[in-house]
Amino acid sequence: MKVLVVGSGGRDHAIAWKFSKSPRVERVYVAHGNAGIAATAPCVNLRTIEEMADFAQKERIDLTFVGPEKPLSAGITDLFESRGLAIIGPDSKASRLESSKCDAKTMMRELGIPVPEFENFSDSDKARDYIRSVGYPVVVKADGLAAGKGSLVCDTASQAEEAVRQIMEERVFGDAGRRVDIEKRLYGRELSFFCFTDGTSIVPMVAAQDYKRARENDEGKNTGGMGSYSPHPWLDDSLVQTIMTRVAQPLIAGVREKYGIVYRGVLYLGLMLVESQQEVIPYVLEINIRLGDPEAQVILPRLRTDLVDVCEAILAGRLGSLKPEWDPDYRLCLIATSGMTKGKKGWYKGYPDRYKIGLPIDGVDRIDPECLVFHSGTEMDSSGRLVTTGGRVLCIVSSGGTLGRAREKALAEMEKVSFEGIYYRKDIGLE
């Protein structure tokens, strides 16, 4: 079997690695990959979904798995299916659940799924008026895709008004800021909850604890993710059942029956669990239409079932008969990012703000082979040296019988890696 993985980040490296471990897979290609992925699978320089479809036809690719949200929102699934090509990922209609936070929240409210109190705005003045009127802290979210950084958590009305100005008027997230979702800030426990679904049946994956804030002690700006670990510390069978019956099942059934959306692939629910009168209510903060990054880096290494078998069950509509097996050991992901560096015109603040690229990376070859290394933003320069190309550069995934052991291992191995301005959170897994 030939598999094509679409993507160029750490999540996509993890997906390609997982497929490469399948005895059923003869070859894995990645479009368009990065320097680290190239050591796992051949990378092909395909930038448009049409180029990817042409390649899949020419090379007789048996299965395509899409990592990031942008090609899904651009209609890659619709295009591949129109050519009779097997592909895992929601179609463009289903992708609206991530590409429009405003539309997704409206649909969930109509379906009776728990969401924070919210309103959507395309006029910045009306958005500011609303902020002044509600009298509680809010979160201001760019409607469209913003690489995981489009949600601004605000403590005061003035902060929220400034968030509206940045998103809607300065367009710091580009066209994603044409509309905003302004929702009541909830307080509780955040959880990333992942499922496989064939449009009818839903199979939950093991959960991961994610760390979004840039700095330790959960301070600083939101990022695409600074680290994660799995198993989750307090997600038990009872809570899984609550999430399935209150959110996942009514969502998949509701969008199919009310909106004609058959959602196939991976469903990622960003939840806030709020205790209310001796019950836990899982409020949906966001829906993502793919595996998370860095959650995929700790979930996929725990999956004992062949990922090809899971994909075939999704495509055949028989996911309900599949029971994936999971490794009970802990996995912990520590992400090295491009931190503060000095440039010709002053300082770069570092990810998620401006950062310098093209910085040589040393020490990756000295990492213990028992750990996994997944690359997010790397390439080989003209002299054949590994250099940085992104804010999130690479991650180390360790394993251990306890969370503490996995954490100690990842930290010890990350000390071997160096590049100018390297920054990583040292409190990942410190619970």
Q: pLDDT tens digits for 338-382?
A: 999 998 888 999 999 999 999 999 999 999 999 999 999 999 999
> Where a domain ends, among 184, 213, 237?
184
Judge contact between 303 and 204, C-beta under 8 A: no
**What is the domain-level CATH number for residue 339?**
3.90.600.10
DSSP secondary structure code for residue 218 in this structure = G
Q: Is residue 60 part of a domain?
A: yes
Q: What is residue 188's three-state secondary structure?
A: coil
At 138, which CATH number? 3.30.1490.20
Cα–Cα nearest to 300, from 24, 116, 65, 137: 65
Q: What is the DSSP letter of 206?
A: P
Indicate if 239 and 155 belong to the same structural domain.
Answer: no
Instruction: Report DSSP state, residue 205.
Output: P
The answer to whether residue 217 sits within a structural domain is yes
Tell me the β-bridge partners of 267: 195
CA distance 117 to 133: 13
Q: What is the pLDDT of residue 345?
A: 82
* Dist CA 327 CA 160 (whole Å): 43
Instruction: Please tell me the predicted confidence (pLDDT) of residue 276.
Output: 84
Q: For residue 397, is it within any domain?
A: yes
Instruction: Report the percent of the chain where pLDDT is more than 90.
Output: 93
Q: State the DSSP code for 43.
A: B
User: Both 337 and 297 in a single domain?
Assistant: no
Range of the domain at 282: 189-321
Quote the pLDDT of residue 147: 75
List all residues 6 or more positions away from 390 whose beta carbon is below 8 Å from its beta carbon.
Answer: 338, 357, 376, 377, 378
Residue 215 lies in a domain: yes
Q: Is residue 97 part of a domain?
A: no
**CA distances in angstroms from 22 to 15, 16, 60, 198, 306, listed in the order given:** 11, 10, 18, 21, 6
Do 335 and 316 share a structural domain?
no
Which ranges constitute the DSSP H helices of 170-232? Answer: none
Total domains present in the chain: 4
Domain assignment present for 428: no
Residue 333 corresponds to which amino acid? C
CATH number at residue 67: 3.40.50.20
Average pLDDT, the chain: 96
pLDDT at 431 over 90: no
320 with 75: CB under 8 angstroms? no
pLDDT band (50, 70, 90) for residue 15 = very high
Asked whether residue 339 is assigned to any structural domain, the reply reads yes
Examine the domain organization and report whether 197 and 314 are in the same domain: yes
Q: What is the DSSP letter of 87?
A: E
Q: 338 and 247 share a domain?
A: no
CATH code of the domain containing 274: 3.30.470.20
Count other C-beta atoms under 10 Å from residue 139's C-beta: 20
- Residue 104 inside a domain? The answer is no
CB atoms within 10 A of CB 299: 26
* Residue 123, pLDDT above cutoff 90: yes
Confidence (pLDDT) at 36: 97
Condensed to tens digits (0 to 9), the pLDDT of residues 40-69 reads 999 999 999 999 999 999 999 999 999 999
Q: Are residues 206 and 309 in the same domain?
A: yes
